Chains A and B, each alone.
Chain A
Amino acid sequence: MIITKKRDLKDLLENVKNYRSFFLIGCSECATLCGTGGEPELKAMKEALEAEGKAVTGTFVAKTGCQVLGTKVELKPFKEALDKTDCIIVMSCGAGTQTAVDLYEDKAVFPSNDSLFLGNMTRLQFFDERCSLCGKCILDKTGGICPITACPKGLLNGPCGGCKDGNCEISPDIKCAWVRIYERMKKLDKLQEFCEVTIEAKDWSASQKPRALTAREEKKK
């Protein structure tokens, strides 16, 4: 899921100080799990805006905020509230925010969150980054652990000289990605492969922005 973090409310209020009325859009997927864009957060934001003397014309939690067409259909019943508002605050990720930008060309749209990373939830609201969405997966070569993400230097052929008692020199509370890969390869009886294969420099062209994909075209292949 996309991990988000609330921006400082003071900064947001500064951003929107020239607007009087607001419509709030949350998301039932990632932002709800992150506690940044579900029903309780929308309610708290509504109260915070009203405390500043602002009007809130409506609030809505989209099913999947990054799904543009679905969100467009879901928002139809809120046409009146949306017509009346000066400004939309989107309480999901940067993709959800830009769905609103697509749908309401004449309205100001502001994000209430910072979008951080693609994360795994390991415990309730504990998120770890495991995948950098690089576009060319190498998990088949590294025992299923991504060094591009788990190693701060993104090293591809073993640890740097900074590994300290098996932990990362940059984030001392986490285990060195390459020690983890080494131990897993050992368990899988693949050490030979780990020793013999030098992973080539990454082809970053698959990460060139902005990326787009037409799944229908892919299916034809």
Chain B
Amino acid sequence: MSFKDILNSGKFVVTAEVGPPKGTDIKEMIHHMEILKGKVDAVNVTDNQSAVMRICSMAVSKIAMEHGLEPIFQMTCRDRNRIGLQSDLLGASILGIKNLLCMTGDHVSAGDHKGAKPVYDVESVQLLKIVDGLNNGKDMSGNEMKGSTDFFQGAVVTPEANPIEPQLIKFEKKIRAGAKFFQTQAIYDIEKFKDFMKHARKFPVKILAGFVVLKSVGMANFLNNNVPGIRVPQVLIDELKAAGKEKALDTGMNITVRHIKQLKEEKICDGVHIMAIGMEDKVPEIMERSGLL
């Protein structure tokens, strides 16, 4: 069953992430893929995440397929103009890549090639429209193509954004542009997420809540201070503090497991997206403890 069919079947879906490495040594990456194989419904392949140059997401998406995983090919607008984006989309299509996550992309100033020219010829909403066109056999200029794509395209939303209104307006624009599913930025406040879901449920799209496991008090503070759109509430930081350094990671895992269970039991959203960030080997354990395996 494809990711699209699984999502539409009503199953509580789990996606994880594979970050392509910098350089051609992919042993560790393959190891992570093997860990996730047969457990997650699909795996996101990031596109030069944080604007740090790495292997392109198309090649790694293809390798993920060869290792029995269903990739969600992430595509940012930072590095390619409309010609490059469309050409890569056609390339991904003939390689059999079906799922797509369209995003604007972190600015080059966040990454390791700060002098690069940021492209942003189009942005996430317009990219979604381009994909819709390609799916219907037409390129962005309206030219008829010989053979069309068959993408299942999604996008990103930040439920914790402050202010939230402009974010919600853009969320609706993405839906109108053809987004079928959304994966959210990491969430830590379930009550606030429920408010967002009340709004999101007005639309016929699937929502996967994003999770990043807290490893320590320091990491929680780092996320609050440095990662926009993420807000770790004080009550969780206190919980980590009370656990002490030794048990911080375990407590972080417990928090994630508790939240996933609540989302699933209360049928708040359609699934979860676990961003392990260097803890890929913990994903099966998180799933097991959350009752997802």
Residues of B within 8 A of A (CB): 78, 82, 103-104, 106-107, 109-110, 118, 120-126, 129, 140, 156-158, 161-163, 165-167, 169-170, 172-173, 176-177, 185, 228-229
Contacts and interface: CB of A to CB of B under 8 A. Distances in A.
A176 B165 CA distance: 13
Given A153-B120, A157-B123, A159-B167, A164 B173 contact: no
Interface stretch (A42-50, A98-106, A113-121, A196-204): A196-204
Interface stretch (A31-39, A57-65, A77-85, A165-173): A165-173
A210 interface: no
Contacts of A165: 162
Contacts of A156: 123, 125-126
Interface string A186-198: 0000000011001
Q: Is the interface of A mostly helix, strand, loop or mixed?
A: loop
Contacts of A153: 78, 104, 107, 118, 120, 123
Interface of A: 152-166, 169-170, 176, 178-179, 181-182, 194-195, 198, 200-202, 204
19 contacts: A153-B120, A157-B123, A157-B170, A157-B173, A158-B169, A158-B170, A159-B166, A159-B170, A161-B104, A161-B228, A162-B106, A162-B107, A163-B162, A163-B163, A169-B107, A182-B166, A198-B125, A198-B126, A198-B177
A181 B109 CA distance: 24
A198 B176 contact: yes
A161 B185 contact: yes
Nearest to A165: B162
A220 B44 CA distance: 57
A179 B163 contact: yes
Contacts of A166: 162-163
Contact of B120 (A155, A176, A195): A155
Contacts of A179: 163, 166
Given A159-B161, A161-B156, A182-B166, A200 B228 contact: no
A192 B107 CA distance: 30
A114 B124 CA distance: 34
Contacts of A198: 125-126, 129, 173, 176-177
Nearest to B130: A201
A170 B110 CA distance: 8
Contacts of A170: 107, 109-110
B138 to A, nearest CB: 14
B176 A182 contact: no
A204 B126 CA distance: 15
Given A161-B158, A161-B229, A162-B228, A178 B123 contact: no
Q: Which A-B residue pairs are the 4 nearest by beta carbons?
A: A158-B170, A164-B228, A162-B228, A161-B158
A162 B229 contact: yes
Residue from B110, B122, B157, B170 having most chain A Cβ neighbours under 10 A: B170
A181 B163 CA distance: 13
A155 B123 contact: yes
A98 to B, nearest CB: 23
A120 to B, nearest CB: 23
A201 B140 contact: yes
A159 B156 CA distance: 12
B124 to A, nearest CB: 8
A159 B167 CA distance: 6
A166 B228 CA distance: 10
